[in-house]
Amino acid sequence: MIGTVFRTEDVPSSERFDHWREMVGRMRSPSDITSAHAADFWAESRVMELGSVTVWPTSFLPTRYRRSPKLVRQSDPELYHLTLLIDGGLALDHAGRNDAFGPRDLHLTDSSLPYDLCPYGTRSADGTGSADGTGPRVVTGVGVDLPKALLPLPPHRVRELLGRGLPAREGFGALLADFLISLERQADTLPPSDAPRLGGVVLDLVSAWCAQVLDAEADLEPESRRQVLVRRIQAFIRQNLHDPDLTPPVIAAAHHISLSYLHRIFPQQTQGDTVAAWIRGRRLEGAARDLANPSACSLPIHAVAARWGISRASDFTRAFRAAYGLSPTEYRHQALTGGGE
Residue 184: predicted pLDDT: 87
Radius of gyration of the chain (CA): 23
pLDDT of 183 over the 60 cut: yes
* Measured distance CA(312)–CA(245) in Å, rounded: 13
- pLDDT tens track for 61-120: 999 999 999 999 998 999 999 999 999 889 999 999 989 888 999 999 999 999 999 987
Q: Is the pLDDT of residue 228 over 80?
A: no
Q: Cα-flanking dihedrals φ and ψ of residue 202, to 5°? A: -60, -45
Nearest-angstrom CA–CA distance, 261 and 255: 11
Q: Decide: 66 and 24 in contact? Cβ < 8 Å.
A: no
Over residues 122-147, the pLDDT tens digits come to 433 344 444 444 556 899 999 999 99
At residue 324 the predicted structure's pLDDT band, cuts being 50, 70 and 90, is: very high
What domains appear along the chain, each with residue ranges and CATH number? Answer: 4-220 (2.60.120.10), 282-337 (1.10.10.60)
CA distances from 229 to 223, 261, 268 (A): 10, 11, 12
Position 37 confidence tier, pLDDT thresholds 50, 70, 90: very high
Q: What residues have CB less than 8 Å from 228, skipping those under 6 apart?
A: 172, 204, 207, 208, 211, 217, 220
Band (216; pLDDT cuts 50, 70, 90): low
